[in-house]
Amino acid sequence: MDNDDYRQRVIAAADRLYYTKGFSAVGMDQLRDAAGISLRRLYQLFPSKNDVVTAVLQNRRKIWADGLTEYMDAAPTPRGKLLAVYDFLADWFCEDDFRGCGFINAFAELGAVNSEIAAIAREHKMSFQRHMARLVAEIGAAPSLAHHLMLLAEGAQTTAALTGDPSAAHHARQAAEILIDTALAKEHPNTNGEDAETHLANHG
Tens of pLDDT, residue by residue over 36-61, are 999 999 999 999 999 999 999 999 99
Over 70: is that where the pLDDT of 192 sits? no
- Express each pLDDT in 118-159 by its tens digit: 999 999 999 999 999 999 999 999 999 999 999 999 999 999
Query: What does each C-alpha distance from 31 to 38, 47, 86, 133, 155 come to in angstroms?
Result: 10, 13, 33, 38, 31
Question: For residue 85, what pLDDT is reported?
Answer: 97
Instruction: State the helix-helix crossing angle for 196-203 and 167-187, rounded to 10 degrees.
Output: 70
| From 65-69, 166-170, 192-196, the region with the lowest mean pLDDT | 192-196
Rounded Cα gap, residues 85 and 62, in angstroms: 16
CATH fold for the domain made of 50-203:
Tetracycline Repressor; domain 2 (1.10.357)
pLDDT confidence tier of residue 204, bands split at 50, 70 and 90: very low
Q: How far apart are CA 164 and CA 13, in angstroms?
A: 24
Predicted TM-score (pTM) of this structure: 0.87
- What is residue 197's predicted lDDT score, i.e. its pLDDT? 53
Confidence of residue 3 (pLDDT cuts 50, 70, 90): confident
Fold designation for 1-47: Arc Repressor Mutant, subunit A (1.10.10)
Q: Give 11-19's long-range contacts (Cβ < 8 A, gap of 24+).
A: 11/52, 11/55, 11/56, 11/59, 14/52, 14/53, 14/55, 14/56, 15/56, 15/59, 15/60, 15/102, 16/97, 18/53, 18/56, 18/102, 18/105, 18/106, 19/97, 19/99, 19/102, 19/105
166-181 pLDDT, tens per residue? 999 999 999 999 999 9
**Could you state, in order of their start, the residue ranges of all structural domains in the chain?**
1-47, 50-203
Q: What percent of the chain has pLDDT above 70?
A: 91
Q: Would you give the distance in Å from CA 77 to the centre of its chain?
A: 21
